[in-house]
């Protein structure tokens, strides 16, 4: 249903489409496994992911302008943090 990669206090959260309706609950449960404040960097081309993070309590702390390149186009990176 979900994937949590924890390495060097970094957490990668991914939920397969079939279980996306449970994604908010799964993210909250992941903080029990990874009990540290979490920051994330999300390129602006993934606005739905940025909105999801904000709806789960992440606060935007900064925007790195034109730092992510995909298919020859540059995108901003939104930096968000969740205080556990």
| pLDDT tens digits, 55-71 | 888 999 999 999 999 99
pLDDT of residue 23: 86
- What are the backbone angles phi and psi of residue 71, rounded to the nearest 5°? 50, 40
Residue 13, classified by CB atoms within 10 Å of its CB into exposed (0-12), middle (13-18) or buried (19+), is: buried
Please provide the distance, in angstroms rounded to a whole number, between the alpha carbons at the two ends of the chain. 23
Give dist(CA 27, CA 73) in Å, integer. Answer: 30
pLDDT of residue 10: 63
Coil vs helix vs strand at 79? strand
Q: Which of 59, 53, 64 is nearest to 11 (CA)?
A: 53
pTM: 0.77
| pLDDT tens digits, 2-39 | 555 555 666 677 788 888 888 888 888 877 877 778 88
């Amino acid at each position: 249903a979900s994937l949590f990669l924890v390495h060097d206090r970094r957490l990668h959260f991914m939920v397969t489409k079939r279980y996306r309706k449970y994604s908010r609950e799964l993210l909250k449960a992941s903080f029990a496994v990874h009990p540290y404040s979490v920051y994330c960097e999300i390129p602006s081309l993934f606005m739905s992911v940025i909105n999801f993070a904000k709806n789960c309590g992440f606060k935007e702390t900064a925007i790195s302008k034109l730092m992510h390149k995909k298919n020859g186009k540059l995108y901003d990176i939104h930096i968000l943090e969740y205080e556990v």
